[in-house]
Amino acid sequence: MFRYSYFVLSVLIISMLLLTGCLSQGGGAGEEHPGLPDETVITSNVSASTDLEGEILFYPTFDENYKTGSNEMFAFWFDIPVEWKAVDRSEDGSEYHILPGNYKIDIRIYGQLADGPEEEFYKQLAGKNGEIADFVYRDNWIGKKITVSESETYFVRVDGDSYLILHVDAAEDPGWMAENEEVIIYIAKSARTARESFGRKAGEANRITPEDLKLGDIEAGMTYEKLMDIVEEEPVEKTGEEYHGMKAEMLYFPDDTQVYVVNGIVHIVNVVDPHYETPRGLKPGDSEERVIELYGEPDNKDEGIWGYCIDGYELMTIVIYDGTVSQIQIEHGVWETDVFM
C-alpha cells in the first residue's frame, strides 16, 4: 500500500468565537513588568482553557514542532514550540506568560481594551526611539510590529475595540532574541482570536457549507462506530496517541483512505479512490476545470493544493496533480464543540 504523504493533520480541537472586546486589568501599555520568578513556581487560574490543576491545555497543530493553546477570557489562541510552556500568573486570567526555558526572558500575551487613537497607543509602546512597522499575521490580518530595542518587541493586533498583544523582552539576555527570532515571529504570526483562520474577509460568502463535508457515505463528525459500519472492513494499519487525555487514532484502509479519529469522532478524512464523491459530485480523477465548475475558485491556492473555507476555516482541501484531482480531504467543522467539553 502506498501511503500518501499529504495528509494535513491540522487537528485543532476546540473552536472559539471571534473576540469582540478585551478588557484587561493587567498587562497594559506603559506598565512596568518585574522580572519573572523561577519557572518552577507556577500559580494558575482554572478556566475552560485549563485542566483541573489549572495548567493551560495545549493541542496538536499542523506543524508537529508546535502546539496551540487558548485564553478563555479574551478568546485568543497562540502557538508555541512543543517543548515550551505557558502559565497564567495573572489574578484574573487575562494574561499568559510564555516560558521558553530561559528565566531571563519575559514573554507575555494578553488582551487590552482600546482607549484612544491607535497611532497614539503604538507610539506609547515604541517610546522615543522605537520603530513601528506593519506586521502580517498568519491569517493575513495586518497589525503592527513595534521594535523598542534590539532586545524588546511588541506585536499588536487590533480586534474590534481591543488589542491582542505579544510582548517579548530579552533585556537580561540580549543574544537570545537574535538566536530565536524565527520562533518569535512564528508565535507572533499565530496570535489570533479564532481557532484557526486562513484570511476570509468579513462579508465574503462561503464557497462550501457543512453539508459539503462528506465523501461518499463518510461524513466529518460521524462516530467511529458509524464509520466502521459504512466502510465494512478493518483498517490495515492503525497508529494512535493520547494528547491531554484525548485519544487520537489514524486509520489506514486498503484503498488508501485515511481517517483521523479523536475521542471516537471522525475529524479528518482523506481519499484517493474515485469511489468517493463529494455531495456535489467531485471525485479523485476529475479535472481541475470540474473543481472550478462545482466550487468556484478556491479560498487558498498553493502549488496544487486548493483549500475551501467555511467562515475562514479551511475544511475541504483538494490536491491537484497534472491537471486532475489526486486527493480530496475534509475536516470536522468548528460549530460542534460539545464532544470535548
Matching residue, cell 522580572? 35
What H or E segment, with its residue span, contains residue 126? helix 118-126
pLDDT (0 to 100) of residue 85: 94
pLDDT (0 to 100) of residue 62: 63
Nearest to 330 by CA among 227, 182, 243: 227
Q: Residues, the chain, total? A: 341
DSSP string, 216-278: TTEETT-BHHHHHHHH-S--SEEEEEEETTEEEEEEE-TTS-EEEEETTEEEEEEE-STT---
pLDDT (0 to 100) of residue 51: 64
What H or E segment, with its residue span, contains residue 185? helix 181-190
pLDDT (0 to 100) of residue 153: 98
d(CA 21, CA 138): 21
What H or E segment, with its residue span, contains residue 288? helix 288-295
Would you give per-residue pLDDT tens digits along the chain (341 residues)? 233 333 443 333 333 222 222 233 333 333 443 333 443 333 334 344 666 667 888 877 767 788 888 888 877 889 999 999 999 988 888 899 999 999 999 999 999 988 889 999 999 999 999 999 999 888 778 899 999 999 999 999 987 778 999 999 999 999 999 999 999 999 999 998 765 443 344 345 678 888 999 999 999 989 999 999 999 899 999 988 775 456 788 999 999 999 998 888 898 999 999 999 999 999 999 999 999 999 999 988 888 999 888 766 678 999 999 999 999 999 886 443 322 22
Phi and psi, residue 181, nearest 5°? -60, -40
